[in-house]
Structure 1
Amino acid sequence: MPLFEKYGTSSKQKKPKLENLATGIEGFTEEDIIQAFRHACWDLYVSNLPDPKIINNAEKGKEDDPRKHIPRGFAIDTKTWQIRFNVQDMPKKIEGESNLERYLSEYDKKSKGKEHKLLARSLFQHECGAHFTQVPSDAVTEAILIDSAIKGFTDPNIAKNKHLAADYSFLAMNIMGDLIGDTLLARKSYGRDDFSDLTVWRTKEFVREARNTPQKPSMIWQTLVSSYEKLWQEDLGLNDVVQKRNPVTEKAAEDLVKVLGNDYRNRDTWEDKVRKFAAILEPIIKQDVQDMQQQGGKSRYGDQKQSGNNLPIPDDVQTQMGNPTESKIGSGKGKYKKYRKGEGSGAKESKQSHDRNESQSEADQIADSIDERIIDEIYQRNKKSPGKFAGTMGALTKLEPDDLLRLMYRARARELLMSINELENQRAEKVPAYQTPWNIGDPIMGKGGLEIIPSVMSSGKPIPGITTFKRKMTSSNYKGKLKAIPDIFIAIDSSGSMSWSPMSDNPEQRGEYDKAILAAEAASLYSIKNGGKVAILNFSGESNVTEQYYTSDMNSIERAIMSYYGGGTVVPIDETYKLIKGTKNPLLTCLISDCMISNDNQATEVFHKAITEHDKLAVFLIHSDSSNLSNSVAGRGANIYKIKRIDDLIGLIIGEVRKEYEDVKENDAD
């Protein structure tokens, strides 16, 4: 029976239509690869993976290049969980072993390429067993382990460089993952059968294949293979390659095995283990980098010279592990405009401006693609150190510092709103929910008390705890219907008097503008969640303006909020009027400033002129008792908040925004 029929399809997929990509191996076809994948899924009780992406980089010397879509080796994407299988990296010559006969007998006796089919099956077992079901098994766990690994490196320059941080940490995590996953297969009878002989054989084959390179054996590779040998008590052929063991790599292998211990299946230990793995591997990785530079970049995978700050990976490591430094966690909306006054909006876009917009669009796509749980988990682990948060998220996403800062404020704002929601739920009215047994000692009267009629009707004879019932009470989350969804316009002062040091580990030293950003971010998130849109006007000196029209895209809102100028304080009159008049919905305008405004008469006039009786204005005075503007608009019904403690700003702004939405809700009686 063909394996397609015997093992079925994964994820309820139909038999795929395969392209005719030559594997270069007689009797080994793409259909054989799909069969091997499904056989491996069957072996390990995996049923929900998509079929692998089969590619063939037949042009020797090309490295991973996302633009060309010809990545080398074998790997699994932790975002889609699709396995990438590059047939060019399959060993062409395989040495079979007698103990594999029980596997080989499943194939037709006359068929060719049986050993390659079996090797592909074992490779897929590795990707499914080591990474999909074990380490990392999900993108959030991957992010947590990367964060822990980065903290294990002693060289501060690694954490400061997003490329080095990514490469070093992913290498440490993947080595730990390979050791855990393969050891389960080799020693723990993991799956439907005992696959130890198959796993050991596959590892030996790639040890032999790894030496098909002009490079000398790398220290990382020697450490990895020696660790396997010590864990499994097997001779994997390292002595055939290295006549005299390197005492440094042997000591590192002993240390890795000791750290792994016998509790490696306990996920609670992984963060500590990967941190120690990073510390052990750091000097070995650095030595390999130096050795590769001295060898002039010769490689079976092409030019191995450093590109930017990326870590060059030795050939034998890539052959044994695939590319161990890859991440798939991080793969523009709204009308955004930042300008110096005098630039015409209809002017022809310069190449520099075009490139900037392209870069922002790409960054927005990456930011939007990141699971919120990842951002929140990394924030919780680094909330006292914005620099460490940026280091980990930079390693995971390759985003620039400004974009990483946006993610940090987004996480802080979400945390703030969650704490407010928890208080809301505690105060929420309790309403009857589902029916549950009433026992002696429970209330007799009230909403959650004994329901006499249902209790009598159930059997005719009430028996406490059996035929007596009450209603379980739960919090009411009913929000009512909106008469008209209001929008929010936030005018934020980023002048020099509003100081900003966002990367300070001391929250009290991050400045007034830090609290203003957090307040604006949280207010924007709340508004968007309730169906509103947000406009931003960030202003300082006469020529410093960032304008964001009404949008529900947080990327655009955040960029506008975080354009810090640090100049004078001049309200842009035309832009203020345009944005107030830019929505037909009810509008709440929030002005956040110390109100030391150079053109306060003009600013007062524009607020009087633009804001209608259906709109609201709230002025948040930072460290100021009054101003001409605040005194004037107060007489027209504006709410004036005098902020003596900057920490009070956040709660007051969120409260004002929340009140705006609550005021337009109908209750059930309406």
Structure 2
Amino acid sequence: MVVSQKKHTKKKKELAQSEEKITELAKIAWAKTLKEFYYPPLNEPNFVFDYTQKEGFYIDPDHKWQITMNLANTPLFRDDNEYIDYFHSISLHEVSHYQIIPYDGIINAKLLKAAMKRVNQNFAPIVVNVFGDLVIDFKLFKKYPDLMLWEAKKTYEFIMSSNKNQLSRFTKFLFRAYEKMWDVEISPDNSLNEMDTLVNKVINVILKDFEDETKWEEKVSKVAYHLRGLINDTFTLIGPGVRCDKGKTKRKAPGKGGSIEFPEDILELMDNPLENKNSDKLKRDNEDELRQKAEEFAKETPYSEFGAPAGQAGILIDGNPLATWYRGLAKNLIEIRIFEEKLGGGQVPICPEVWKIGDPIEELDVVQSLLNSPVIIPNITTRKWVFKEGPGHLEEKQIPDLLIVLDSSGSMGWNYTANTNKGRGEYHTALVASFAALHFAVTKGVKFSVINFSNRADICQWTNDYQKAEGTLLRYQGGGTVLPTKALIAQCDKAEKKVLIFIITDFGIYNWGGAKKNMNNLANNGHNIVGFFIGASTIPKNRFKDMLDKVTFYPIKNIKDLINLVIEEVKKYYL
């Protein structure tokens, strides 16, 4: 018993020494890799020996801001240089994901969106990872052909020996793709040739206009189309608690709930095919940058295609994807500086005129008089300058509080999942305008309030928290149209300074007659009121004749004109 314990202790010590040695070699290879990439902003990996995992690289939730490099499944080599070469090769590949493709969160989201046109959202990362792996390794092979081929052969031999010379069709596809793209032999026999038809279709897409990165999204969509059959046959969505078949493993699905089962040998070749890798996931304190990227992605993406890719790419960090989407659509529609012109502080000469007896003698300009005539004759040839007040200067003006009064009645249709602005309805356009005005106020540090009205007034009190205001704007009611004048007056009374009021409606308001007096009173108290009436070709002047000199009304014959009109009014009042 004692002898057995000693042997166990000795083996454990030898294993620890071996792991320590391998770790040092991996660090040498990693440093060499960073040097060749000109030292990108990547931390040294967290080196581990996790014999329960097949992946070589992954992001561990316990070490979120750095890559974890698992050395447990490293093939055995004869000397240290082979270990360094092996780690160098796989490190080159790993770093390329963060420096070449997908690089950052927005590129990752765009590629996922392209893949989702052909496969479901849970399988989209598989397509993006396959595409990224093949692009990266083709680039690396052109630069390091001997190293890449040697590592591919060693990996092939290792996977074959670990899996009793049996490979899944997906792994066969990947190895055969490398053989075709590199024009080399990795397998000593023709066992990979069964994948030729599919491989040829995929690599033809990838290699055409290879250096043109603007075609990545189009290519990913085509690759997804070709791979969808193989992916559906290889990967299976399973529920919680389901045990995997022999030779298979499972990883958390990138969508909501469940896991995905697939052959274990895939992990040994490409790590977790469901993991989305990009440099934004390794940065600390970058919430503002992620929000900006999510908003940029929203500008060119229908809402039905927005949430899943943005979420998987890690750029959707706010709780409400719909608010983020509208924020993106409205972004940069308004860019305003607030000035007030002040009178100048001095006199500027404009032109000469006759100096007459009785004018102050100091106003007589002798030079101008002599230039006019060599003989000075008072009242005739004498001259003086006419002056006027010098030009004024612009002084930054205090921004008024912003009150958005938004009609969400049933006549203001809303279908944000439609693919066209017309199909999204009047309320969609009004929301984009409201979000644009709201976020201009945010950038200027102004307070804002929202009244969303239909049968009732849904009020966001004065705040600097734009997410509260966004939530109120997005609560569509779909009832009748009653302007809540009491709530409007109450919000103006609560404001700390004069208010700019936007009323956005479709002119179907039931109680305009009773609202006129209250609106006149608000205008007389120094508040600026602008009404935008959707669907009206003219404003009935007789009906509003006692208001038109104090309140600005705009008929909106074409719903598309609303956004520009709102922007012009913001500029008008704020400039």
Which residues of 2 match residues 554-573 of structure 1 at below 5 A?
Answer: 555-572=467-484
Q: Distance in 2 between matches of 1:650 and 1:378?
A: 17
Are 2:77 and 2:83, in contact at CA under 8 Å, matched by a contact in 1?
no
Change (3 A) 1:182 1:557: same
Are 1:501 and 1:514, in contact at CA under 8 Å, matched by a contact in 2?
yes
* Identical aligned residues as a percent: 24
> In structure 2, what is the equivalent of residue 119 of structure 1?
86
Shift of 1:202: 2.7
Partner amino acid, structure 1, of 2:207: G
Q: Distance in 2 between matches of 1:215 and 1:588?
A: 74
Partner amino acid, structure 2, of 1:259: V
The alignment status of 1:409 with 2:326, answered yes or no, reads yes
Which residues of 2 match residues 5-24 of structure 1 at below 5 A?
Answer: none
Q: Distance in 1 between matches of 2:472 and 2:208?
A: 52
Partner amino acid, structure 2, of 1:406: A
Q: Distance in 1 between matches of 2:520 and 2:40?
A: 61
1:644 to 557, 560, 568: 557
Are 2:293 and 2:315, in contact at CA under 8 Å, matched by a contact in 1?
no
Shift of 1:492: 0.4
Shift of 1:506: 3.5
Shift of 1:48: 2.7
> In structure 2, what is the equivalent of residue 41 of structure 1?
34
Q: Distance in 2 between matches of 1:262 and 1:636?
A: 65
The alignment status of 1:379 with 2:299, answered yes or no, reads yes
Are 1:515 and 1:647, in contact at CA under 8 Å, matched by a contact in 2?
yes
Shift of 1:395: 5.2
Are 1:170 and 1:325, in contact at CA under 8 Å, matched by a contact in 2?
yes
Shift of 1:519: 1.5
TM-score when normalising by structure 1? 0.63
Shift of 1:661: 1.2
Partner amino acid, structure 2, of 1:518: V
Q: Deviations over 1:201-255 (max 9, x none)?
A: 333343344454699633222111111122234443485xxx95473x3321222
> In structure 1, what is the equivalent of residue 355 of structure 2?
none
> What's the secondary structure of 1:492's corresponding residue?
strand
2:43 to 37, 51, 55: 51
> In structure 1, what is the equivalent of residue 175 of structure 2?
225
Q: Distance in 2 between matches of 1:314 and 1:627?
A: 72
Shift of 1:116: 3.9
> What's the secondary structure of 1:137's corresponding residue?
coil
Q: Distance in 2 between matches of 1:599 and 1:24?
A: 84
The alignment status of 1:550 with 2:500, answered yes or no, reads no
Q: Distance in 1 between matches of 2:47 and 2:542?
A: 66
Are 1:119 and 1:202, in contact at CA under 8 Å, matched by a contact in 2?
yes
> What's the secondary structure of 2:68's corresponding residue?
strand
Which residues of 2 match residues 439-478 of structure 1 at below 5 A?
Answer: none
1:494 to 408, 428, 431: 408
> What's the secondary structure of 1:28's corresponding residue?
helix
Q: Distance in 1 between matches of 2:426 and 2:226?
A: 43
> In structure 1, what is the equivalent of residue 567 of structure 2?
654
> In structure 2, what is the equivalent of residue 184 of structure 1?
139
**Is the radius of gyration larger for structure 1 or structure 2?**
2
Q: Distance in 2 between matches of 1:410 and 1:635?
A: 33
Shift of 1:535: 1.8
Are 1:573 and 1:606, in contact at CA under 8 Å, matched by a contact in 2?
yes
> In structure 2, what is the equivalent of residue 525 of structure 1?
439
Shift of 1:493: 0.9
Change (3 A) 1:509 1:184: closer
Are 1:53 and 1:83, in contact at CA under 8 Å, matched by a contact in 2?
yes
Range with greater deviation from structure 2 (494-503 or 48-57): 48-57
> In structure 2, what is the equivalent of residue 251 of structure 1?
197
> In structure 2, what is the equivalent of residue 15 of structure 1?
none
TM-score when normalising by structure 2? 0.72
Which residues of 2 match residues 588-607 of structure 1 at below 5 A?
Answer: 588-598=500-510, 607=519
Partner amino acid, structure 1, of 2:114: S
Shift of 1:39: 1.3
Are 1:512 and 1:646, in contact at CA under 8 Å, matched by a contact in 2?
yes
> In structure 2, what is the equivalent of residue 170 of structure 1?
125
Partner amino acid, structure 2, of 1:644: K
Are 1:390 and 1:401, in contact at CA under 8 Å, matched by a contact in 2?
no
Q: Deviations over 1:66-91 (max 9, x none)?
A: xxxxxx541589xx99751232x542
Q: Distance in 1 between matches of 2:549 and 2:41?
A: 63
Q: Deviations over 1:570-611 (max 9, x none)?
A: 344664344323332332011112354455577556656666
Q: Distance in 2 between matches of 1:119 and 1:629?
A: 85
Change (3 A) 1:619 1:271: closer
> What's the secondary structure of 1:590's corresponding residue?
strand
2:227 to 275, 281, 305: 281
> In structure 1, what is the equivalent of residue 111 of structure 2?
145
Are 2:409 and 2:481, in contact at CA under 8 Å, matched by a contact in 1?
yes
The alignment status of 1:94 with 2:6, answered yes or no, reads no
Partner amino acid, structure 1, of 2:132: G
Could you list the runs of 5+ residues in structure 2 that have no partner in the other structure? 1-14, 338-392
Could you list the runs of 5+ residues in structure 1 that have no partner in the other structure? 1-21, 64-71, 106-114, 159-163, 332-364, 422-478, 663-670
> What's the secondary structure of 1:123's corresponding residue?
helix
> What's the secondary structure of 2:331's corresponding residue?
helix
Shift of 1:521: 1.7
> In structure 2, what is the equivalent of residue 622 of structure 1?
534
Q: Distance in 1 between matches of 2:543 and 2:296?
A: 38
> In structure 2, what is the equivalent of residue 271 of structure 1?
217
Partner amino acid, structure 2, of 1:485: I
Are 1:586 and 1:614, in contact at CA under 8 Å, matched by a contact in 2?
yes
Q: Distance in 2 between matches of 1:504 and 1:291?
A: 29
Partner amino acid, structure 1, of 2:69: N
Change (3 A) 1:573 1:298: farther
Q: Distance in 2 between matches of 1:301 and 1:174?
A: 19
1:207 to 156, 172, 182: 156
Partner amino acid, structure 1, of 2:449: A
Matched residue count: 494
Change (3 A) 1:521 1:480: farther
Change (3 A) 1:122 1:635: closer
Partner amino acid, structure 2, of 1:134: I
Are 2:51 and 2:72, in contact at CA under 8 Å, matched by a contact in 1?
no
Q: Distance in 2 between matches of 1:632 and 1:537?
A: 26
Shift of 1:269: 4.0
> What's the secondary structure of 2:437's corresponding residue?
helix
2:499 to 587, 603, 614: 587
1:60 to 52, 68, 82: 52
Root mean square deviation, CA, Å: 4.2
> What's the secondary structure of 1:498's corresponding residue?
coil
> In structure 2, what is the equivalent of residue 446 of structure 1?
none
Change (3 A) 1:399 1:134: closer
Q: Distance in 1 between matches of 2:24 and 2:438?
A: 52
Partner amino acid, structure 2, of 1:220: F
Change (3 A) 1:518 1:174: same
Partner amino acid, structure 1, of 2:140: L
Are 2:462 and 2:495, in contact at CA under 8 Å, matched by a contact in 1?
no
Are 2:250 and 2:262, in contact at CA under 8 Å, matched by a contact in 1?
no
Partner amino acid, structure 1, of 2:213: R
> In structure 1, what is the equivalent of residue 265 of structure 2?
316
